[in-house]
Amino acid sequence: MRRLVAAGLLLAAPAALSAPPSPAQIVKYRHAVMNGLGAHMAGLSMIVKGETDRTGDAVMHATAVKELAHTIGALFPEGTGPGHEFETEAKAEIWSQHDKFVEAVKALETASDKLVDAAKTGDVAQIKTALGGVGGACGDCHDVYKVDDHH
């Protein structure tokens, strides 16, 4: 009998692991991605301000910013906005003005692509300029689509 129960549990485990995430889990993951994006932006900011001698890390940070930026559009499915049983800083405008939100995400993606190109040059001035472009794209999006922003 134990073997039968164990076999049943082993067969059911993959189904449990493959269940789609709940809206609350999606929001939690989205928050983690945004925090990661902010952390890499902070690292790059320290590099361009001369607050660290780790200029060789610029490409790594810029690449992470790019990779994270290119996931953002998919992190806001229907049902993960305000008015649910979980907390989110996302405004309803993300869904009510979805075409404009998509444009804002594309602007961030484009700016992050340019950031990687600048980081690959190793020229701190170019990195600083490109970082400003990413920061501007972040700010433009946050101004319209994020509640209680602290950028």
On the question of pLDDT at 2 being above 80, the answer is: no
What average pLDDT does the segment 127-148 reach? 95
On the question of pLDDT at 28 being above 60, the answer is: yes
On the question of pLDDT at 30 being above 90, the answer is: yes
On the question of pLDDT at 94 being above 60, the answer is: yes
Report the distance separating Cα 108 and Cα 12, nearest Å: 41
Higher pLDDT residue, 51 or 13? 51
Class (C level, CATH) for 22-145: mainly alpha
On the question of pLDDT at 27 being above 80, the answer is: yes
Which residue carries 């609350």 as its tokens? 24
What average pLDDT does the segment 113-136 reach? 98
The whole-number pLDDT of residue 13 equals 55
Every domain of the chain and the residues it spans: 22-145
Task: Look up residue 95 and give its two tokens.
Answer: 């869904």
pTM of the model: 0.85
Query: 136: closest CA among 118, 111, 116?
Result: 111
The whole-number pLDDT of residue 73 equals 95
The whole-number pLDDT of residue 103 equals 97
The whole-number pLDDT of residue 148 equals 75
Query: 31: closest CA among 104, 96, 114, 87?
Result: 87
Average pLDDT over the chain, rounded to an integer: 91
